[in-house]
Chain A
Amino acid sequence: MNNYPISFKLNGQAVSVEAPATINLLTLLRDYLNITSPKFGCEQGNCGACTVILDGEAVNSCLVLALTIEGREVTTVEGLGTMENPHPLQVAFTEHYGAQCGFCTPGMIMSSKALLDKNPNPTREEVVDGIVGNVCRCTGFTKIIESILAAAESMQ
């Protein structure tokens, strides 16, 4: 099977990799680049566990054909903060118990980041709309919404 070259910006760094035409961005990140924060959930765009930011917008990475990211910019949780210097969303999710099992958390964080980048002071309803594509099967939505609102406040 033929591989095609892909060059793009991943968490601020230029990356070059070769991959077949049929794989999606989620597989490229997890299996080719060892970026494992986006999770493999439904592979249909229903669960949001694989959400990353592509050119400033939240997308389901499982629905993006890997080759189409040539020359574009991808951000994952790995590019957000470090243990020493976490992003305000990461701090808020920790402080407000926004994570239970943690499987949906990276997707939740990336959807929230895309939301706050566009709308730094969202209402509760706007937060709900922003994460409507991310399913938490622990059903801890209340804590997640509180975490995002707290992050927005701390970033003001």
Chain B
Amino acid sequence: MKDVKYFAPATLQEALQLLEEYGAELSVLAGGTDLVRDMNLEFKVPHGIMWIGRLGLEYIKDDGDLIRIGGATRMQTAGSSPLLKEKATAVAMAAGKMASPPVRSLATLGGNLVTASPAADPGCALVGLRAEVVLTSVKGQRVVPLADFYTGPKSTVIRPDELLTEILVKPTQEGEGSSYMKIGRRQALTLAVLNATSRVKLDSQGKVESVSISVGAAAPTLLRIKSAEAMLVGQALTEEAIQEAGAIAAREIKPIDDVHGTAWYKRKVAPVLVARTLREAGKLNGGG
């Protein structure tokens, strides 16, 4: 058995120095619900482990323009946050329902994003909210739109010397809402057969001023359905427009048959789920 190094740095600076020194040899441990599981099942034996639970990266704050969520914020914290429930509803919905209570008291939002499952629930919500992620290294910081962060299943643009330190979400404004929904094989403790998120802002005439739609578990990465978004902007959010957006989503996704559901089924439910999230996001006026 090889000797596995363990670090529990007390400051961000110390953590970034360790990443600079060891790079890809160091596995970052946030909540552990993926890394420790993979170690238990012997899918992965890391060379070294760095736990980031002591860096003060669990927080949710509104700085006026942006909601800033610390990378190590746990699901239960996000799911019960009054700020997220009000101004980034979709992510509170996704985080608050993910897996089960004992998993939610460990799993973190940053970990969920870096693990890069194409079916990730909080990831789907954050893509649909047009979130950005802050990647920090000793060399500095860069901000990447979450939709561009993913490059494939379990693959992202993060470098081995970088840590995902913060998630940025523009809070929903007056006349704007967001919604996240999921179809699973059962109510809890299950991966998504398909999930979807919509963020909708209506102007004073009830026309769509801005919109974003994401669908998960339907392609190698979480997807933004930009053609449906472009179609909706400037239109009234009628049932007809909603149905058309759903139909576009069904064409845009690239599902495969897997143990959670068939590609055929995913194409059938994608328009239904997208339509439901659009209706709910569009109805929640007043910054919901």
Which residues of A does B touch, CB under 8 Å? Answer: 1-2, 4, 20-22, 24, 43-46, 48, 51, 54, 57-60, 62-65, 67-68, 70, 111, 114-115, 129-130, 132-134
Contact A68 B51, beta carbon cutoff 8 Å = yes
In the complex, what residues of B have CB within 8 A of residue A51's CB?
102
Taking A68-B29, A133-B188 as contacts, is the C-beta distance between A45 and B103 under 8 angstroms? yes
Q: For A68, what are the chain B residues with a Cβ–Cβ distance below 8 Å?
A: 8, 29, 32, 51, 53
CA distance A65 to B50 in the complex (A): 11
Name the CB-closest residue of A to B186.
A132
A51 vs B2: C-alpha distance when bound (angstroms):
29
Chain B's interface: helix, strand, loop or mixed, by majority? loop
Q: Which residue of B lies closest to A72 (CB)?
A: B53
Q: Are A45 and B102 in contact (CB under 8 A)?
A: yes
In whole angstroms, how far apart are the Cα atoms of A51 and B102 in the complex?
7
- Residues from chain B with Cβ under 8 Å of A63 in the complex: 31-33, 36-37, 103, 106
| A58 CA / B103 CA spacing, docked (Å) | 8
The 3 A-B pairs with the shortest beta carbon distances in the complex, nearest first, are A133-B100, A21-B6, A43-B40
- Min CB distance B121 to A, Å, is 14
- Find chain A residues with CB under 8 A from B8 CB: 67-68, 70
Question: Considering the complex, which residues of chain B in the window 97-121 have a beta carbon less than 8 Å from any beta carbon of chain A?
Answer: 99-103, 105-106
Q: Are A132 and B4 in contact (CB under 8 A)?
A: no
B residues adjacent to A (C-beta < 8 A): 1-6, 8, 29, 31-33, 35-37, 39-41, 45, 49, 51, 53, 76, 99-103, 105-106, 187-189
Assess the A114–B49 pair: CB atoms within 8 A: no
A93 to B188, CA, bound (A): 24
Q: Which one, A4, A48, A65, contacts B102 given CB within 8 A?
A: A48
Residue of A nearest to B38 (CB): A44
Excluding A45-B106, A62-B37, A63-B37, 20 further A-B contacts by CB distance (< 8 Å) are A1-B2, A1-B4, A4-B6, A20-B4, A21-B4, A22-B4, A43-B40, A44-B40, A45-B33, A45-B102, A48-B100, A57-B105, A60-B103, A65-B35, A65-B36, A68-B53, A129-B101, A132-B100, A132-B101, A133-B188
Task: Name the distance in Å between B10's Cβ and chain A's nearest Cβ.
Answer: 12
> Are A133 and B101 within 8 A (Cβ)?
yes
* Complex Cα–Cα for A59 and B33 (A): 10
A46 to B41, CA, bound (A): 13
From B2, B4, B32, B189, give the contact of A64 (CB < 8 A).
B32
CB atoms of B37 and A43 under 8 A apart: yes
Q: How far is the CB of A58 from chain B (nearest CB, A)?
A: 5
